[in-house]
Structure 1
Amino acid sequence: MQSRQTAFPFCTFLPRATSAILTTLLVLTASWAQAQDQRFTHSVVIDAARTLSESRYRPLEAVPDALLSLNYDQYRSIRYRKGAAIWGGTPTRFSIEFFAPGNLYDTGVDISIVENGQALPIPLTEDAFEGVSDEIGEILTSIAKVAGFRLHYSFNEDYQDEFVVFQGASYFRAVSEGQSYGLSARGLAIDVAEPSGEEFPIFREFWIERPSSRADSIVVHALLDSPRVTGAYRFGIYPGAPTRMDVEATLFARSQLNHIGIGTLTSMYTFGSMDAPDVPDYRDAVHDSNGLAIINGQGEYIWRPLNNPRALQISAFMDYNPQGFGLMQRHRELRDYQDLEAGYHRRPSAWIRPVGNWGEGHVVLTEIPTPSEFNDNIVAYWRPATPLVPGEPFRFAYHMSWPDERPLPPEFGRVARSAYGIKLAEPYPQMVIDYSDMPAGIHVDDIVFNVSLSRGRVIETVAQANHLNGVRVVLTFDPQGSQLSELSIRPTYQGEAIGETWLYRWTNG
């Protein structure tokens, strides 16, 4: 599998804490230690986040230069020793391995293991990591911090598979059985694509509960911190097909936050059927996700193909109490990509289903130009309309899954393919949308395709049966000199939707 690092925009942090702030942090640490002498519950994390929000933000301390100077290959050679895995070789079906700090991971985090209600720091010995020199091994032991961790689970009796990773800022990712890593999620996003720059919260401490020998789920708690907000997170994690997570969070604002992202997903889209690569490529498509899927508060199923634009593009889908959204990797066959190494057809999708009412806001899709498949350039999240303010805890929860695809109602048209071209002999743009699995017994001539353009005019809409037990729709339009137009197609029969609403932002060039 190819490796890719997420590119982080420049982020300005507050100055180092003064002596008074350091005193506050020492008191805070003592209070956490006292709490850990008692029985650990999630309230310990909530209390820590609340107390932390009452002092100024202090960035994590950078690890020694010897670790920062490791090149990519040197860092990649460092592996946590299998024999040192937490709960390895025990009846517990889960085990934990850790990532060393170094290279791009310039800070370390604290991790505790919770057993019998008591939280204890993870043990790190000089031989915990393989592929390191004696000097690097001693440094890793002395700082007693790691860059993150991965969870393994026994899907069968013979082997434990890695299926979840928490590493870097508030990033985490997961796979289901038979998948390989692709898109990532974040605990929280702040000011994505704002001119002032994006702020990247961090998980600065984790607590991992030991499951019983019969348990098929595991609980991870995390303390989030950032210059303007703190938070307490609880992840109930269920490996399988698909892997699922129950996420609960309580945020405490240090200052007012007008732009946050909940259920944030980060992915990569370089090219596909909607846009050709800038340079010749033997592959038909290169992406971790190829569409944004939404079920809005009115129950409308929406499909928005992704794009690698020439300039930054931000789309907002206004809603009230959304039912779900996510980034999908809809094409699941090797022939869709022709990449034997990357295995893009095995990359997971991610689906967010809100718990309770999320109120007014919008799903945001940010598409960033990129020349390389090694850069994440797609961000999707829910942005609440109400700002976060100090003194008022902000709570939210959602169910998250990592499936191959989101479920649709039976006999409901799914957008299987979207393509773009120019009409033969005429200079008009054409959109080709293939629907699969349309309802049986409905003739294509009886389907009404509701088409709208924000700019320009429709030349013609042609629909015909396709090879996917569905319909191909060809939309030809005249932009009338516009450089941008929002397109929409919704198939209906007798006034009822019988397939996904297809949306796309067309740009000239």
Structure 2
Amino acid sequence: MQLTLSAPLLNTKPAVVIPVMLTMLMLSFCSAWASAQDERFSRSVVVEAARTLAETRFQPLQEVPEELLSLNYDQYRSIRYRKGAAVWGDTPTRFSIEFFAPGSLYDTGVDISIVENGQALPIPLDEDAFEGVSDEIGEILTSISKVAGFRLHYAFNENYQDEFVVFQGASYFRAVSQGQSYGLSARGLAIDVAEPTGEEFPIFREFWIERPSSRADSIVVHALLDSPRVAGAYRFGIYPGAPTRMDVEATLFARQELRHIGIGALTSMYTFGSMDASDRPDYRSAVHDSNGLAIVNGMGEYIWRPLNNPRGLQISAFMDINPQGFGLMQRHRTLEEYQDLEADYHRRPSAWIRPTGNWGEGHVVLAEIPTPNEFNDNIVAYWRPATPLKPGEPFQFAYHMSWPDQRPLPQGFGRVVRSAYGLKLAEPYPQMVIDYSDLASDINLEEVTFDVTLSAGSLVETVVQPNHRDGVRLIITFDPEGARLSEIRAKPTYQDKAIGETWLYRWTGN
């Protein structure tokens, strides 16, 4: 399916809402939460808080004072959380926490509590917590006692704690594995992505971070999600390493029926690469945080879909029952493939979502939004359940998430390492070039064949060539026959068995 919307969708963000006083409906939630605070903290406390919250009308987070909102980019960037104030920074615990100040684009603050010995206590913020601020701004930050988010540090070695996870803004979070640089982000929940009525952006309005023991190599973060039409309780079991992993559990309570939600939502950037060259001269050969969507569907088929920076909004839906996994991948891992000495695109993480249990019917959604440069995230991928969320019916889901360099494939199973697009020499026919590697050593490359189909147009020819010792190259030449869009599918086989990823692509005549 194809949708075309105007480019301003690219900069869609939650609308700024004028702060309002809490209504009587909200008081019931506050009372319930106050009672919960007297108990020993557990996940059930957050679940009950979400359930109670969903029975009240949504209340936007209050904006921070104008003095913070008026900070420009450089002023905000100069504000740093003081290293000496890091939570657990001077203790044997291998983790520590630092906080982000609200202000500039981060127009609201959230509440964060630390859980120790079963008790949840608000984080301490004094006037010296943040550096790079004037006395006036420091006093304001202390008086509101809220932060924009936090980052976790972990001692990958004995001498230094590296930052590896950030929760900041709406329900966004991101992570890196050892040796990586930040790239794509994840979301707690996506709602109505690319719908004509506009997207709804849920928020994490409160966090609880459990203190690990001095020997623990994992940490647990709880979050209370809220949005005009849904509330939810989240638990993140976080394991730093190579790769960094997360176990995510969530329970949602709908205020209204929700027909379009996104689970395991990922947000990334793709500007140009081997499938579509830059529209303007650029010394770099590729600019992206991710270059493909990978899926293992419920039937066990491995799928690779290269990303695209289209002329108009493109929505692709991959129907499935009980998917085994999906994610946005950054497969190109060498500097030579980007030639960018500052951005470190070759060190950006991939992200892989593996469902826990059966997710039922639905589809993996890929949204590709036009962008003129790399400063805008323009790629969204998520699982959309077929069954709508309904008020009074809790909706639970869980998944394992990892932030690897590459998603492992079965031994000897072909991986797409390069996809390229051009025109046939001396003829006006489009050509797709797909390179596979890591094929099993006992395969006779001369006998590899491909099942190739087009949704529109006709095949002119397909050419299969051995490419190095363990790979093949497929060249697809086709005649669009006037079509402006064609879904292309290619599956490598050997002796009637699949030997590599199924390659999918939407050609739009660009």
Normalised TM-score (structure 2): 0.97
Following the alignment from structure 2 to structure 1, what is the Cα–Cα distance between the partners of residues 346 and 264? 24
> Contact conserved, 2:449 with 2:464, CA < 8 A, in 1?
no
Following the alignment from structure 1 to structure 2, what is the Cα–Cα distance between the partners of residues 495 and 58? 58
Following the alignment from structure 1 to structure 2, what is the Cα–Cα distance between the partners of residues 31 and 489? 56
Q: For the structure 1 residues 479 and 440, does the alpha-carbon distance in structure 2 shift closer, same or farther, using more than 3 Å as the test?
A: same
Q: CA RMSD in A?
A: 1.3
1:9 partnered with 2:12: yes
1:364 is aligned to 365
2:5 is aligned to none
Q: For residues 78-106 of structure 1, what are the alpha-carbon distances to aligned partners after superposition, in whole Å with 9 as ceiling and x for unaligned?
A: 00000000000100000000000000000
Following the alignment from structure 1 to structure 2, what is the Cα–Cα distance between the partners of residues 7 and 368? 6
1:23 Cα deviation from its structure 2 partner: 2.6
Normalised TM-score (structure 1): 0.97
Following the alignment from structure 1 to structure 2, what is the Cα–Cα distance between the partners of residues 492 and 168? 45
1:287 is aligned to 288
1:195 Cα deviation from its structure 2 partner: 0.2
1:419 is aligned to 420
Following the alignment from structure 2 to structure 1, what is the Cα–Cα distance between the partners of residues 314 and 113? 41
> Contact conserved, 2:19 with 2:61, CA < 8 A, in 1?
no
1:280 Cα deviation from its structure 2 partner: 0.3
Following the alignment from structure 1 to structure 2, what is the Cα–Cα distance between the partners of residues 82 and 12? 34
2:69 is aligned to 68
1:27 Cα deviation from its structure 2 partner: 3.5
> Contact conserved, 1:444 with 1:463, CA < 8 A, in 2?
no
1:213 partnered with 2:214: yes
Equivalences for residues 170-209 of structure 1 within 5 A: 170-209=171-210
1:38 Cα deviation from its structure 2 partner: 1.3
Q: For residues 288-314 of structure 1, what are the alpha-carbon distances to aligned partners after superposition, in whole Å with 9 as ceiling and x for unaligned?
A: 000000000000000000000000000
> Contact conserved, 2:19 with 2:63, CA < 8 A, in 1?
no
Following the alignment from structure 2 to structure 1, what is the Cα–Cα distance between the partners of residues 296 and 244? 21
> Contact conserved, 2:183 with 2:348, CA < 8 A, in 1?
yes
> Contact conserved, 2:13 with 2:201, CA < 8 A, in 1?
no
Give the secondary-structure state (helix, strand or coil) at the position aligned to 1:44: helix
Most deviating of 26-35 and 163-172: 26-35
Following the alignment from structure 1 to structure 2, what is the Cα–Cα distance between the partners of residues 404 and 129? 34
> Contact conserved, 2:10 with 2:369, CA < 8 A, in 1?
no
Following the alignment from structure 1 to structure 2, what is the Cα–Cα distance between the partners of residues 33 and 254? 22
Name the amino acid aligned to 1:275.
Answer: D
1:233 is aligned to 234
Following the alignment from structure 2 to structure 1, what is the Cα–Cα distance between the partners of residues 404 and 328? 10
1:493 partnered with 2:498: no
2:106 is aligned to 105
1:381 is aligned to 382
Equivalences for residues 425-444 of structure 1 within 5 A: 425-444=426-445
Following the alignment from structure 2 to structure 1, what is the Cα–Cα distance between the partners of residues 283 and 468? 26
Q: Structure 1: which 4+ aligned runs deviate by more than 6 Å?
A: 13-16
1:3 is aligned to none
Name the amino acid aligned to 1:153.
Answer: Y
Following the alignment from structure 2 to structure 1, what is the Cα–Cα distance between the partners of residues 134 and 334? 43
1:301 is aligned to 302
Equivalences for residues 342-357 of structure 1 within 5 A: 342-357=343-358
Following the alignment from structure 1 to structure 2, what is the Cα–Cα distance between the partners of residues 248 and 306? 29
> Contact conserved, 2:172 with 2:187, CA < 8 A, in 1?
yes
Q: For residues 235-261 of structure 1, what are the alpha-carbon distances to aligned partners after superposition, in whole Å with 9 as ceiling and x for unaligned?
A: 000000000000000000000000000
Following the alignment from structure 1 to structure 2, what is the Cα–Cα distance between the partners of residues 108 and 58? 14
Give the secondary-structure state (helix, strand or coil) at the position aligned to 2:23: helix
Following the alignment from structure 2 to structure 1, what is the Cα–Cα distance between the partners of residues 79 and 31? 33
1:446 Cα deviation from its structure 2 partner: 1.5
1:7 Cα deviation from its structure 2 partner: 6.0
2:4 is aligned to none
Following the alignment from structure 2 to structure 1, what is the Cα–Cα distance between the partners of residues 183 and 124? 30
2:78 is aligned to 77
Name the amino acid aligned to 1:133.
Answer: S
Q: Equivalent pairs: percent with the same residue?
A: 79
1:270 is aligned to 271
> Contact conserved, 1:269 with 1:290, CA < 8 A, in 2?
yes
Q: For the structure 1 residues 83 and 59, does the alpha-carbon distance in structure 2 shift closer, same or farther, using more than 3 Å as the test?
A: same
1:252 partnered with 2:253: yes
1:159 is aligned to 160
Give the secondary-structure state (helix, strand or coil) at the position aligned to 1:146: coil
1:22 Cα deviation from its structure 2 partner: 2.1
Following the alignment from structure 1 to structure 2, what is the Cα–Cα distance between the partners of residues 44 and 10? 30
Equivalences for residues 17-56 of structure 1 within 5 A: 22-56=23-57
1:16 Cα deviation from its structure 2 partner: 6.4
Q: For residues 57-115 of structure 1, what are the alpha-carbon distances to aligned partners after superposition, in whole Å with 9 as ceiling and x for unaligned?
A: 11000000000000000000000000000000100000000000000000000000000
Unpaired runs of 5+ residues, structure 2, are 1-8
Following the alignment from structure 1 to structure 2, what is the Cα–Cα distance between the partners of residues 388 and 27? 24
